[in-house]
């Protein structure tokens, strides 16, 4: 016995509509879930690059130099004595942007502290907030990794690359 195609038409359309609706829901919720998981655990590491700061000879203990990353963020690189035989351990590269409201901090070599002039925020040489609004909020200066090329004594700061230079 053959079924009448005219009678099965509405039933097939109903099944097809249900399948399409379920597919749409799975795709929609699946995409949302995927984006949420990527927000929690980023799969792609942001591209990074090394910014040249100077040579060890140009950066004596107690000195500070400012470099600018591709996003325009100023990074203060300071040098302390560090561990013997490990020149990289004496370097700290910290964002010059105050985590309170974004003013530029400056290095006070005499006090070995970073000072934010906007609301008298003070950070120690490690970028830890020790007084003012940043200390009250527990917000420290952002730190960047420092590398020293032992072959030629060149000092670099590792930064992320975004915007028109990358992702
Ligand atoms: S912006 Fe630096 S202390 Fe307020």
State if pTM tops 0.85. no
Whether pLDDT at 45 is above 80: no
Ligand 1 mean position, distance from CA 122 (Å)? 9
Ligand 1 mean position, distance from CA 124 (Å)? 15
Q: Rounded distance, CA 68 to CA 96, Å?
A: 10
Are the beta carbons of 128 and 30 closer than 8 angstroms? Answer: no
Helix ranges (H only) for 59-160 are 133-137
pLDDT tier at 64, thresholds 50, 70, 90: confident
Domain ranges across the chain:
1-43, 48-165
pLDDT tier at 1, thresholds 50, 70, 90: low
Mean pLDDT of the chain: 85
> Whose alpha carbon is nearest atom 1 of ligand 1?
101
Q: Which atom of ligand 1 is nearest to the CA of 102?
A: 1
The best mutation among 117, 121, 142 to test binding of ligand 1, ranked by most ligand atoms within 8 Å of the C-beta, falls on 121
pLDDT at 137: 96
CA angle 45, 48, 49 (to 5 degrees): 165
Q: What is the pLDDT of residues 70-125, one digit of tens each?
A: 888 899 998 877 777 777 778 989 999 999 999 999 888 788 889 999 999 999 98
The best mutation among 117, 133, 135, 142 to test binding of ligand 1, ranked by most ligand atoms within 8 Å of the C-beta, falls on 133
pLDDT at 6: 59
Of residues 37 and 126, which shows the higher confidence score? Answer: 126
Percent of the chain with pLDDT over 90: 40
Q: Is the beta carbon of 101 within 6 A of some atom in ligand 1?
A: yes
Burial of 25 (0-12, 13-18, 19+ CB in 10 A): exposed
What's the average model confidence in pLDDT over 49-75?
90
Of residues 8 and 124, which shows the higher confidence score? Answer: 124
Q: Strand 74-79 and strand 91-95: pairing?
A: antiparallel
Superfamily of domain 48-165: Rieske [2Fe-2S] iron-sulphur domain (2.102.10.10)
Q: Is the beta carbon of 79 within 6 A of some atom in ligand 1?
A: no
Ligand 1 mean position, distance from CA 99 (Å)? 7
DSSP secondary structure, 29-58, as one string = HHHHHHHHHHHHS-SSPPPEEEEEEEETTT
């Amino acid at each position: 016995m053959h079924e009448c195609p005219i009678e099965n038409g509405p039933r097939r359309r109903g099944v097809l509509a249900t399948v399409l609706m379920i597919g749409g829901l799975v795709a929609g919720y699946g995409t949302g879930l995927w984006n949420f998981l990527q927000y929690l655990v980023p799969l792609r590491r942001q591209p990074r690059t090394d910014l040249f700061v100077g040579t060890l000879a140009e950066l004596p203990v107690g000195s500070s130099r400012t470099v600018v990353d591709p996003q325009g963020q100023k990074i203060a690189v300071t040098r302390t004595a560090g561990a013997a035989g490990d020149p990289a351990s004496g370097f700290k590269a910290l964002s010059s942007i105050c985590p309170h409201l974004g003013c530029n901090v400056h290095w006070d070599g005499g006090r070995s502290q970073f000072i934010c002039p906007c609301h008298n925020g003070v950070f120690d040489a490690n970028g830890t907030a020790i007084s003012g609004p940043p200390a009250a909020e527990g917000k420290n200066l952002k730190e960047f990794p420092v590398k020293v090329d032992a072959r030629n004594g060149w000092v670099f700061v590792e930064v992320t690359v975004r915007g028109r230079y990358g992702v």
